[in-house]
Structure 1
Amino acid sequence: MREVSFHLASGRILGIVGRTGSGKSTLSRLLFRLYDPQSGEIRVGNHPLPTLQLRSLRHHIGMVTQEVQIFHASVRDNLTLFNSTISDEQIKQALVEVEMSGWLATLPNGLDTIIGAAGEGLSAGEAQLLAFARVFLSNPGIIVLDEASSRLDPATEHRIEQAIHKLLAGRTALVIAHRLKTIQRVDDILLLENGRIREWGTRADLEKDPNSHFSRLLHTAPASDNSIANQPELATDRD
């Protein structure tokens, strides 16, 4: 990534869009300090990331990715990530938030039920909802959401949409957007291309500007699946 500079105000939701390989996931990984930039810096609350304790940083930033890590452990440990200070009452409330309390009631040993390391016994949608429950338990101020691209049944997709709606309420968020539906909930748009910012502005302004790259991207997205992640490069003049 080169020459990337922007500011996201507290409580705003940023939609990050662009072709596959444009730098969307790289940006989220830099924020989470999965690796550090070779030059420049990222600040949270005006504090450069390296000045913050890594554990504290990751406690205040919740990340939900397309790949959900499931451990060969109890439902309780999978949700708390082996944090014994989190009570069962808190866990059950988080499951209520993602509409998984009914699922919990079907388990033979409740929160003590063992889940396989490969997620045996869980559907793709259930694993994704458990990932959201983990974030509800940590209650972070910043959310990084790389929405699942799996095709889910309508009922499960609705539950995930509801979980996203609750999770983003009142929080600062970076949403790597793959579908048009996700775009409708963001405040600002960052369009990346080849590791650089191609366009930046409020979603409303860019949508109504017929000359914006984002507006053209919306109009060229396939109607069949509303995907905007793998569009061919826009045929536009460069300055």
Structure 2
Amino acid sequence: MFKLNHKFKKLIVIIGALLLIFALAGCENEAPGADENQNGESAAVVNGEIIPLSQLQQQMEQVKMFYEQQGVDISDNPEEYEMLQEQILDTLIDQTLIRQEASNQDINVPQSDLDSAMERYKSQFGSEEEFGQALEMSGYTLDSFTKTVEKDLLVEIYQDRLTNGIEVTNEEIEEYYEVLKAQDHGEEELPKLDEVRDQIEQGIIEQKKNEVIQENLLELRESSEIEK
């Protein structure tokens, strides 16, 4: 039986991880040939922009492939499969809204940032040929994968601007630490505040960022026309 080598598996896992991470925090993945399917059946329409059904199906196949790499067949549970498909569709809608808003604000991805990101992916492989083969096995062309990376970066830039300037006070850190102290840590002793201050601060920042991002997405959805 033909086996994927470790480098091919690595890119597939990277792609799968990106999908799953951004399903929670925000990311879009473009199905190869999506542009050619704009006149086909749609999964959703966002402010007049079509999300092709083929794009949703392609994402589901990639997520399914990712789970299979972990030894899990998500199609065995139709209810969970349907829930996951709905979550991915919502992610596609959210990222379409973000791209539209980023366009309205004239936000663009610097070519140097895109080039650097692509080089980081390519560096995982011994040659351009191996990289191209891995993309093909994952259902991508170089162009469609580059567009996916560019959209991911656009989301990052938009959300970085949205959450820029978030601060955490000493009082918030100390309150969070007191909550930790009140929890049962078993035999493990809670480190002193000074030892975990940075981690607590970063955790609160991430929580605040997520709240701002989710609030923004809610506002974008409420002000948009979305058809499923």
TM-score, normalized by the shorter chain, greater than 0.5: no
- TM-score when normalising by structure 2: 0.24
Normalising by structure 1, we get a TM-score of 0.23
| Higher alpha-carbon Rg | 2
Q: Which has the higher helix share?
A: 2
